[in-house]
Structure 1
Amino acid sequence: MKYFVPLLANEPAADLQLASEIAENLFTTNNLWIMISTALVFIMHLGFAGVETGFGQAKNTVNILFKNTITPILGLLTYALVGFFLMYPGFETPGWFAFDLDGWKMFWFSPAEADVTAGYADGGYTYWTEFLFQGMFAATAATIVSGAIAERVKLSAYLVFTLFYVGLVYPLIGSWKWGGGALDELGFYDFAGSTLVHSVGGWGALAGVILVGPRIGKYVNGKTMDKPGASVPLAVIGVFLLWLGWFGFNGGSVLSADPGLVSLVLVNTSLGACAGGMGGFIAATFFFKRLDLGMMLNGILAGLVGVTAGADVFTPGSSLLIGFIAGLLVVFSSVFLDKMKLDDVVGAVSVHLTCGVWGTLAVGIFSTNPEHSFLSQLTGVAVCGAMAFSSAFLIFFILKKTRGIRVSEEHERTGLDSHEHGIRGYTIVYDE
């Protein structure tokens, strides 16, 4: 293993030894924190499974869980096959497309050559830690889509969509900022992915919702009909697991274990979540005249998404305001989508797209870094949104015209579990 050690020609041997030990300990600490963060991000998939299963109908429980189980599998595999090298291509000059062919060959055929410090943080961490941490992010985009179009999409169509969207679209867009591409050169900033992860997933969800269409009986005579979820407790557990995972999602994005910066990021993350929950609670009380738990839960997620773009450059005070506004927006957005007859089972478009856009633009308003401008943020949102939505729409459209993307009316009415999986999510057996 190689470590970065600052050397001076006239340093005594003892000082060089001390510097080497400090560098090694720093490397180990940073690497350990990124690995812990990776595990926390991984747990978010269990959170998504809980939220989607809890908000979905009982007759589709196994189908939803199946998608949430296979999504990280496909996400990590496609990221290893192509995504990682498309997302971090090593642009010779900032641009829109490049592929790290040498890195791909090394990854698969000469892995020992990659056993060096990744060059993204002062203290560093391993190349393999970098791959795994970023790979966990990749599958999140597809999981966002999964919840929005649940209960009526063909499993085979969703899997094909995931292969292309996570394998090609997500890493290509990510390369424009995180890979040193054209948007990075422009000055666009997205700390942990309000746009590059969440709104990319949200744009994909919106395209899917439009083309798949609403569930049978969701909109009747101009009215929105409630479809009770299978388990409110499971939805609550899922949200708290996502909140926990966000400590790794945002905290790990510091790309080191810098105590001051990691602490600030985690404080801003939590305050954003709390303010978002309050915003969702207040807005839902105004709109629905009831204490709506579901909207408060989505408000928490909205606040988390909102502060993600600038958790390292926001103050705690601005994080509270950004999160609160996100909590309000998620309710407004959900009401608007229903008026447009766009059926989103879990509110993924409102949480991840609406609040992802808001959080990214908020960097241009509230950032403590004077180099961050609203115009650069708006440009990044527009470019990434155009690419993500058009790509997702095209993938779903081709699938719709070829193999179809929606299950039969009979299967939708009776539930996907019995027809596609042969088992139920909830089964009570009585002794005779």
Structure 2
Amino acid sequence: MEEQIAALAAELAAVKDATAGLNRTAAETFYYVTIPLMVLIHAGFLSYEMGASRAKNALASGIKNILAFAFIIPTFYYAGWFIYWAFPTGFSTSPGPAGISGWDYAVGAASPVGSVMGPSVADSATGVFFGAFAMFAATTASIMSGSLIERIQIVGFTILAIVLGSFVWILGAAWGWHADGWLVTSLGYHDFGASGVVHAIAGFFTLGVLINLGARVGKFNPDGTANSIPGHSLPATLVGLMLIIAGFWGFLMACVIFPGEPWSWGTGIFATIYGTPVTLSAMTFNILMGFAGGAIAAWVMTHDPFWMMSGALGGIISVAAGLDLYWPPMAFVIAAIGGVIMPLASRYVERRRIDDAVGAVALHGVVGVWGVLAVGIFASGYPALTSDGAPVITLVGQLGGAVVMVLLGFVPGYAVSLLLKRFGLLRVPKEAELLGLDKVKVPAVAYPEILGEPARGPVTPAQ
């Protein structure tokens, strides 16, 4: 009898080990898959931004987008990932209530010179989590990139992208997108899909840069009225926007915490980054309703293909913060309101003689704030965390969080771009802008047959 019990115990232990191994592999694969899906966002921004540029600037616009992506990876490795774990409670770097933050925790979990930030068969989580967050970081820079096309220096833009992607937004994420974040523990701030910590921060950082960068030559008349400067390929812009939306499935997929692991919130179902329950099924309802509501409302408002597709993305951003909480018809209405707000906000920005080439301040900044506030309006009373005595979601808390996100984006964006302007690193000379940035910055021609110019520079295999 004892031998049978021992055999059953050994068999049970083997089954537990096998199940744990399968769950660990499934979790690792889940986050691994989110990364190439999020790369689609950057493929989309590349097409979107190049299409929104005039032909003489197409390659320069694309190159700075790719460079931002490339530079953010190492800088996020050395700084951004550490910031997320060290600063949730503020600049004191003290540990938070959940015990997963603070300087000492960050040294153990995210030190760029420690063994944890490298290959280890005992650690199947750190690398894929880092990769997903690095894609979030690169997304903030891509949000900014399109607004600045056709007149910003590549060096200046790269510096701004590093500041935004590897320092600024991740500080906001530590405060409002972490279970120990002071905005969460003090105000009950809820931002599941990053309407505030990614979109609002990036949008208002962009606004700060645009004020110092100035408008493109010919954008505004002496009386303040604006001229349209259409891009060379609206189809490429529309395809790019659709790719961004496809990539956002990976973005939002990476916002959930896989169950059943030592670092998970539980063993049952997915959880938000705050530990509250969520399912992929609920997310799917609301992502699709957000897409539809934003696209329909923006089309009704403008009858413009560009704004219709931007509205689809704006609809998703509108519902992202409360994606885990909304009933689908409510998500549709919230998204439709975002689709109405977006073109109105863009017109207001233009009336202020600010040249936002793709409307990112309205689409990501203003609509991102709306997404945060919508949670306070439509989902007040839900618990912000699962711990005992945790605060609940309130409109006041969401408003406070939104103000922090706006200031955290705008102030560094304005200050750093002003510094770059003083050193002559922000804007290209007027002569270069009129000639086209491809001619002065890129040893290649985007459309040699159309522009009637031979290809310049070394002949590549593609040529």
Could you tell me how far apart the structure 2 residues matched to 1:271 and 1:116 are?
Answer: 41
1:272-291 maps to which residues of 2 (within 5 A)?
A: 272-284=290-302, 291=303
Q: Provide, for residues 335-384 of structure 1, a one-character-per-residue CA deviation record: whole Å limited to 9, x for no partner.
A: 11111111111111111001100001111122383521111111111112
Equivalent position of 1:210 in the other structure: 211
Report how far residue 390 of structure 1 moved.
0.7
Would the alpha carbon gap of residues 280 and 109 (structure 1) be closer, same or farther in structure 2, given more than 3 Å must change?
same
- Secondary structure, in 3 states, of the residue corresponding to 2:254? helix
Would the alpha carbon gap of residues 127 and 109 (structure 1) be closer, same or farther in structure 2, given more than 3 Å must change?
closer
8 Å CA contact retained: 1:194, 1:305: yes
Q: Provide, for residues 85-110 of structure 1, a one-character-per-residue CA deviation record: whole Å limited to 9, x for no partner.
A: 11122754349985823444465546
Equivalent position of 1:55 in the other structure: 52
Equivalent position of 1:271 in the other structure: 289
**In the alignment, structure 1 residue 20 sits paired with structure 2 residue 17:** yes
Could you tell me how far apart the structure 1 residues matched to 2:322 and 2:39 are?
Answer: 22
Letter in 2 for 1:207: G
**In the alignment, structure 1 residue 296 sits paired with structure 2 residue 320:** no
Letter in 1 for 2:428: V
Equivalent position of 1:235 in the other structure: 237
Could you tell me how far apart the structure 1 residues matched to 2:431 and 2:117 are?
Answer: 50
Equivalent position of 1:376 in the other structure: 397
Equivalent position to 1:427, from 414, 438, 448: 448
8 Å CA contact retained: 1:48, 1:143: yes
1:103-122 maps to which residues of 2 (within 5 A)?
A: 103-105=109-111, 108-109=114-115, 111=117, 115-116=121-122
Letter in 2 for 1:325: I
Could you tell me how far apart the structure 2 residues matched to 1:303 and 1:88 are?
Answer: 31
Q: Provide, for residues 57-80 of structure 1, a one-character-per-residue CA deviation record: whole Å limited to 9, x for no partner.
A: 111101110011111111111110
Q: Where do 5+ consecutive residues of structure 1 fail to align?
A: 1-8, 118-124, 285-290
1:158-197 maps to which residues of 2 (within 5 A)?
A: 158-179=157-178, 180-186=180-186, 187-197=188-198
Q: Provide, for residues 148-189 of structure 1, a one-character-per-residue CA deviation record: whole Å limited to 9, x for no partner.
A: 111111111111222222222222221112342211212211
- Secondary structure, in 3 states, of the residue corresponding to 1:88? helix
Would the alpha carbon gap of residues 34 and 337 (structure 1) be closer, same or farther in structure 2, given more than 3 Å must change?
same
8 Å CA contact retained: 1:86, 1:175: yes
Would the alpha carbon gap of residues 300 and 110 (structure 1) be closer, same or farther in structure 2, given more than 3 Å must change?
closer
Equivalent position of 1:252 in the other structure: 254
8 Å CA contact retained: 2:84, 2:174: yes
Could you tell me how far apart the structure 2 residues matched to 1:365 and 1:24 are?
Answer: 43
Letter in 1 for 2:322: G
Q: Where do 5+ consecutive residues of structure 2 fail to align?
A: 1-5, 88-92, 260-268, 271-277, 384-391, 455-463
Would the alpha carbon gap of residues 113 and 230 (structure 1) be closer, same or farther in structure 2, given more than 3 Å must change?
closer
Larger radius of gyration: 2
Equivalent position of 2:351 in the other structure: 339
Report how far residue 114 of structure 1 moved.
5.9
1:383-402 maps to which residues of 2 (within 5 A)?
A: 383-402=404-423
Could you tell me how far apart the structure 2 residues matched to 1:66 and 1:341 are?
Answer: 27
Could you tell me how far apart the structure 1 residues matched to 2:197 and 2:428 are?
Answer: 30
**In the alignment, structure 1 residue 29 sits paired with structure 2 residue 26:** yes
Could you tell me how far apart the structure 2 residues matched to 1:183 and 1:431 are?
Answer: 55
Could you tell me how far apart the structure 2 residues matched to 1:246 and 1:102 are?
Answer: 31
Report how far residue 431 of structure 1 moved.
12
Report how far residue 263 of structure 1 moved.
2.1
Equivalent position of 2:273 in the other structure: none
Report how far residue 252 of structure 1 moved.
2.1
Identity fraction in percent: 27
Equivalent position of 1:224 in the other structure: 226
Report how far residue 222 of structure 1 moved.
3.2
8 Å CA contact retained: 2:65, 2:142: yes
**In the alignment, structure 1 residue 101 sits paired with structure 2 residue 107:** yes
Q: Provide, for residues 288-346 of structure 1, a one-character-per-residue CA deviation record: whole Å limited to 9, x for no partner.
A: xxx31111011111112111112112221121111111111111111111111111111
Could you tell me how far apart the structure 1 residues matched to 2:37 and 2:402 are?
Answer: 27
Report how far residue 422 of structure 1 moved.
3.0
Equivalent position of 1:78 in the other structure: 75
Letter in 1 for 2:36: A
How well do the aligned residues superpose, as a CA RMSD in angstroms? 2.6
- Secondary structure, in 3 states, of the residue corresponding to 1:318? helix
Compare the two structures and name the one with the higher helix fraction: 1
Could you tell me how far apart the structure 2 residues matched to 1:109 and 1:403 are?
Answer: 41
**In the alignment, structure 1 residue 198 sits paired with structure 2 residue 202:** no
Would the alpha carbon gap of residues 110 and 334 (structure 1) be closer, same or farther in structure 2, given more than 3 Å must change?
closer
Could you tell me how far apart the structure 2 residues matched to 1:155 and 1:330 are?
Answer: 28
Equivalent position of 1:361 in the other structure: 373
Report how far residue 112 of structure 1 moved.
6.3
- Secondary structure, in 3 states, of the residue corresponding to 1:405? coil
Letter in 1 for 2:401: G
Report how far residue 423 of structure 1 moved.
2.2
Equivalent position of 2:459 in the other structure: none
Letter in 2 for 1:351: L
Letter in 2 for 1:271: M
8 Å CA contact retained: 2:80, 2:170: yes
Letter in 2 for 1:423: A
Would the alpha carbon gap of residues 240 and 112 (structure 1) be closer, same or farther in structure 2, given more than 3 Å must change?
closer
Equivalent position of 1:131 in the other structure: 130
8 Å CA contact retained: 2:38, 2:251: yes
Could you tell me how far apart the structure 2 residues matched to 1:342 and 1:256 are?
Answer: 43
8 Å CA contact retained: 2:77, 2:112: no
Equivalent position to 1:321, from 313, 325, 333: 333
